[in-house]
Amino acid sequence: MCTPSGPPPTPDWLVELIRQHLDRLYAFCRRLVWDEHRAEDLAGDVIVLVLRKWSNYDRGRPFWPWLWRLAVRRWQTECRRHRVGEQPFLEDADSDREGREPDALDDLVRREDRDRVRAAVDALPDHLRGVVLLRYADGLDCPDIADALGVPVGTVYRRLYDAKQRLAGDLGQLSGG
């Protein structure tokens, strides 16, 4: 990653920096909204924000946490505005744990479990849902999540704990436990 100091970046440099992170940004947006077209719209909105808010970026820090912070905040704004928040952080699996081809019952059980988890994550408040997605869908560690969201790392740990408690309760109720 390139974070030069000195004069403001040229438009070519900014375009190259965005290009370096575009695939990762799109993948993250896709997990947030679980729809190809909405993910493209969200990623595009984030790029526009980068271009408009470039003067707020501290070039002494890595670019991607700032970019992701913009993406999460834009997504949260959309969730509040439209109450949309599909959470597809569980990927489809092509085969069973044992390496055999899944049968129809395996597919149904996995799909139902995945749908239950998605619904439970979707029911989380935005501040908890975002942390869960950054941690479990994108694999960020807690200090990186804190940096991306602009909150103390202790807040991230607390939000993860609260989210896990809610999910355990919701998923336990769904399974009758």
Q: Are 137 and 90 in contact (CB under 8 A)?
A: no
Angle at which helix 153-174 crosses helix 104-122, to 10 degrees, equals 130
Note down the domain range covering 116.
101-177
- Domain-terminating residue out of 29, 51, 86: 86
Only one residue has tokens 């996995």, namely: 110
Domain count, the chain: 2
Is residue 93 domain-resident? no
105 residue type, one letter: L
Q: Are residues 21 and 59 in the same domain?
A: yes
* HSE-CB of 92 using CA atoms within 13 angstroms: 6
126-174 pLDDT, tens digit each: 889 888 888 887 778 899 888 878 889 999 999 999 999 998 888 876 5
SS3 95: coil
Q: Which pLDDT value is given to residue 135? A: 87
Radius of gyration of the chain (CA): 18
